[in-house]
Structure 1
Amino acid sequence: MSGSHHRHLLQLVLSCRKITAQVTQPGSSTIVAMASSSEQEFVAQLRAKLNRFPRAKSLWDSRTASRVGEKLGLRLREIGVEAIAIDADEEISRPIHHRKMVLPLLDSVRRTGVQVDGTEQLGEIGHWKS
């Protein structure tokens, strides 16, 4: 993660129930932008999955991750953040089913115009476009 201590850092919190993406300020743990699948936009979808039988193993999918990434990217652009970094080692250490769903989130952030550094190694786990 060379040079990432000078960049805003993207941290992901993943569980079977939700995905949360937060960006912290360089040199501190102050959160400057955040997006999550627990936001109001996703409530109806979450309820539908909770009430379905058989119950889904995960309450979010790659489409939800992509939308969370888009929301995060737009919020970053609003505050003037043009580049963020990820901890590639942390992302690669995730279980494969989570790694595959993180890629759409990162791609959506990138499509909003925010540069995502540290993704070079992620091409090994999916179809990441550097």
Structure 2
Amino acid sequence: MSRNPKHLLRIVLSCRKITAQVTNPSTDSIVAMASSSELEFMQQYRAKLNRYPRCHHYWDAHVASRIGEKLGLRLNQIGVTYVCVCVQEEICRPVFYRKMVVPLFHSVQRAGICVDGVEDIVF
């Protein structure tokens, strides 16, 4: 599929938070965004924060998948049907993070958004 991408899906990761944002490359403005810091995920975050022994990662593949669902719904609401992923940026991530982020991309696809470049991301 050789389309000229209008929107770019980028993932910002840390051990505490995952944020997915879709930007318009011509203006660099954020069109839609979903994050693990939203109210829905706060109870789970606090539970992991107060657990002993402490864990070092406060999100997992399930949270990433739920963020993808939320992002897909928001993209549908504003009429965006096609986004592109920077494959080079995703391949540079450690395999551990790549395995946890791929469910996010699949959730966005299940919401009806065409995500170009996901098939090129390997483990």
TM-score range (shorter-chain normalised) is over 0.9
- Residues in 2 aligned to 1:118 and 1:64: alpha-carbon distance in whole angstroms: 22
Q: After the TM superposition, which residues 50-129 of structure 1 pair with which residues of structure 2 at under 5 Å, given as runs?
A: 50-122=49-121, 124-125=122-123
Offset of residue 56 of structure 1: 1.0
Q: After the TM superposition, which residues 5-20 of structure 1 pair with which residues of structure 2 at under 5 Å, given as runs?
A: 6-20=5-19
Whichever residue aligns with residue 120 of structure 1, its letter is: E
- Residues in 2 aligned to 1:50 and 1:11: alpha-carbon distance in whole angstroms: 26
Offset of residue 119 of structure 1: 1.6
Partner-residue secondary structure (3-state), 1:17:
coil
What number of residue pairs does the alignment pair up?
A: 122
How high is the TM-score relative to the length of structure 2?
0.95
Deviant stretches of 4+, over 3 Å: none
Any idea what the Cα deviations from partners look like across 1:77-102, whole Å, max 9, x if unmatched? 00000010000010010011110011
- Residues in 1 aligned to 2:48 and 2:16: alpha-carbon distance in whole angstroms: 10
Partner-residue secondary structure (3-state), 1:35:
strand
Whichever residue aligns with residue 36 of structure 2, its letter is: S
- Residues in 1 aligned to 2:57 and 2:14: alpha-carbon distance in whole angstroms: 8
Whichever residue aligns with residue 22 of structure 1, its letter is: Q
Whichever residue aligns with residue 15 of structure 1, its letter is: S
Whichever residue aligns with residue 25 of structure 2, its letter is: P
Q: After the TM superposition, which residues 40-51 of structure 1 pair with which residues of structure 2 at under 5 Å, given as runs?
A: 40-51=39-50
Ranges in structure 1 where 5+ consecutive residues have no aligned partner: 126-130
How high is the TM-score relative to the length of structure 1?
0.90
Identity of aligned residues (%): 59
Task: Please tell me the root mean square deviation across aligned C-alpha atoms, in Å.
Answer: 1.2
Ranges in structure 2 where 5+ consecutive residues have no aligned partner: none
